[in-house]
A and B are shown apart, each in its own frame.
Chain A
Amino acid sequence: MPLLELVNLDVGFDTPEGEVHAVNELNFSIEAGEALAIVGESGAGKTQSMMAVMGLLADNGHVSGQALFNGNDLLSMGAGELNQHRGSQIAMIFQDPMTSLNPYLSIEKQMIEVVMHHQGLDRAEAHAKAVEMLRAVRIPDPERRIGQYPHEFSGGMRQRAMVAMGLLCEPDLLIADEPTTALDVTVQAQIGHLMSELRQTSNTAIILITHDLGVVAGLCDRVLVMYAGEVVEWGSVEQIYYQPLHPYTRGLLESVPRLDQPDDAVLHAIPGNPPNLLALPDGCKFRDRCPKAHDACREEPPIRQGGEGHSYRCFLERTDE
């Protein structure tokens, strides 16, 4: 049984202008200890699909389908049951470390409440555990630092504190939403190392949401490429990086600057903008921006196999160039 399996996940938001279709028919699964990356532009539905899984959608959001965690559907659980999983078995790290920590509570209070609530530890035990965890994420002088408030931490330290907070209960699944976007490059690397270390030591599965393909390569086993609320291609890291089959994936890869290419090599950008989620076109959602679009793309594209565990949603046949 997979650790987490999403079945036909749909996420929408009611707005005064109409319904926004953020995620359409999302299906994937992740095994224990596996690391999966979900990549795509902003607005592709990466974050909202995970928010839906965590039960954290905004008030105007609604979700259908199933999110089976060890076989139990998270989406049909009541608040009390869901809270037994959230924070203890599934943890989530958010994008913006500056605002995701409560500025009015000390780091200690924000950390110990997780273990005190989920594991029933007393204050002293929880404190010891929190200090240990801060040490594990390389916060210097954790005994002193733990009494401080978030604004006394640097951006990188806050994100590490967030990671530490997520790991306190040794979750089976860690969802990391752009954990390195707001950080300096050196700190990005530290957080990346931290997460891969974690996988090795505690067999935690990781879902990494990012638009940065560079981060994915070192950390993940499989990649899911999302566009306008749909998965357009999925496969192993090697397959996606070396044999991208969907035109959108190719566009994404070409827009990453690379050191192994000559300085004057043209860096490509994908022309146009993602479609309006209020009025999605029929057929292939990418066709307006696709250099290979043709008339057939007005129909719903088929899902084609590109290899073992590698699929993509396009009319184009695989051609081995």
Chain B
Amino acid sequence: MTKNADNAVLDPFAAALEVKPIKGRSPWEDAWHRLLRNRAAVYSAFIMGFMFFLVVFGPMLISWDSGYTDWDHTSSPPSFSSGHWFGTDAIGRDIMVRTLEGGRISLLVGLVATIVSLLIGVSYGATAGYFGGTADRVMMRIVDIIYALPFMFFVILLMVVFGRNIVLIFVAIGAVNWLDMARIVRGQTLSLKNTEFIEAARACGVGDWAIIRRHIVPNLLGVVIIYVTLTIPQVILLESFLSFLGLGVQEPMSSWGALVSDGAQDMESAPWTLIVPAVFLTVTLYCFNFIGDGLRDALDPKDRL
């Protein structure tokens, strides 16, 4: 009887409690909202979207062929009347179509080399972090050693040794750029492995695979996304750097770095040959960096209030 009476008092109270739970948001939703509030990142994402569109479809829409030499207009400044909106280079090739096609190479290198470094870095870092102990120490010592090397020189060395071809550029750049990724993934795995929520899951009898899928991967995803966005501009920069030195992609193929290099030769007589590819390259790097920064601010749980 008393028990029922108690319930009679408690039930409405309990019901009242359940009526208005504070609406929860998943961390991903939270991150998304934070990202949208970062105006620099949002604008950058739009500009990048437009840039991708231009680079992929632009060359099809321009009537000039990138190899076509317009002898009537060599080193001609940007003009609408000649049809060369961004001018031509010393042998009469259209700068706009060359820049857009060079952009294809630059962006492709950026994406592919980043994927290479992602694959190496994540598997290396996750392995080291998951096994821990001696394996971890040895593996991270190796990373430390490679870190201390002047890696730019190694890429140049690789290019010298194996000749200059585009596949090698992907691999060479990817192969020297995985160190950051490995370190970060390893650190995350290591700290995740020892967190209370994973221990709790383990204590509740959740299997290894389920723990990896439900807890480790979603928690790694954030940092991986951030570093992918930050690695892409680094890789594009590295490729341009090599191409600028004449060690990257070779004629007739071109990339923004190679175009800037060509433009720098003629800049006194035809500054547009330098400025157009330079602007494309810089805007791309700028946007990627801003997006990466925005993602970091949005996803990094350390900065959460």
Q: Which residues of A come within 8 Å of B, CB atoms?
A: 15-16, 271-273, 276, 288-289, 291, 293
Contacts and interface: CB of A to CB of B under 8 A. Distances in A.
A291 B14 CA distance: 10
A288 B12 CA distance: 11
A205 B305 CA distance: 33
Contacts of A15: 305
Interface of B: 9, 13-14, 16-17, 20, 22, 33-34, 37, 305
Given A15-B305, A276-B22, A271 B17 contact: yes
Contact of A288 (B9, B16, B305): B16
A16 B17 contact: no
Contacts of B20: 288
Nearest to A17: B33
Contacts of B14: 271
A293 B17 CA distance: 12
A272 B34 CA distance: 29
Contacts of B17: 271-272, 288-289
Nearest to B305: A15
A214 B17 CA distance: 29
Nearest to A20: B305
Contacts of A291: 9, 13
A16 B13 contact: no
Nearest to A60: B305
**3 closest Cβ contacts across the A-B interface?**
A276-B22, A272-B17, A16-B37
Nearest to A290: B13
17 contacts: A15-B305, A16-B33, A16-B34, A16-B37, A271-B13, A271-B14, A271-B17, A272-B17, A273-B22, A276-B22, A288-B16, A288-B17, A288-B20, A291-B9, A291-B13, A293-B13, A293-B16
Contacts of B16: 288, 293
A15 B304 CA distance: 11
Nearest to A273: B22
B72 to A, nearest CB: 58
A288 B20 CA distance: 9
A293 B34 CA distance: 38
Nearest to B23: A276
Nearest to B12: A293
B305 to A, nearest CB: 7
Nearest to B10: A291
Nearest to A15: B305
Given A276-B22, A289-B17, A293-B13, 6 more contacts: A15-B305, A16-B33, A16-B34, A16-B37, A272-B17, A293-B16
Contacts of A273: 22
Contacts of A271: 13-14, 17
Nearest to A58: B305
A16 B33 CA distance: 10
A243 B20 CA distance: 32
Contacts of A16: 33-34, 37
Contacts of B13: 271, 291, 293
A16 B37 CA distance: 9
B152 to A, nearest CB: 35
A293 B12 CA distance: 11
Contacts of B9: 291
A288 B17 CA distance: 6
Nearest to B34: A16
A276 B23 CA distance: 10
B97 to A, nearest CB: 44
Contacts of A288: 16-17, 20
Nearest to B19: A288
A288 B19 CA distance: 10
A272 B33 CA distance: 28
A15 B20 CA distance: 22
Contacts of A289: 17
A273 B37 CA distance: 29
A273 to B, nearest CB: 8
B302 to A, nearest CB: 15
B21 to A, nearest CB: 9
Contacts of A276: 22
Contacts of B37: 16
A272 B20 CA distance: 11
Nearest to B25: A17
Nearest to B9: A291
A275 B17 CA distance: 11
B206 to A, nearest CB: 27
Query: Counting chain A CB atoms within 10 Å of each CB, which of B14, B17, B37 scores highest?
Result: B17
Nearest to B21: A273
Nearest to A279: B22
A127 to B, nearest CB: 38
B55 to A, nearest CB: 35
Contacts of B34: 16
Nearest to A278: B22
A288 B18 CA distance: 10
A289 B22 CA distance: 14
A273 B9 CA distance: 19
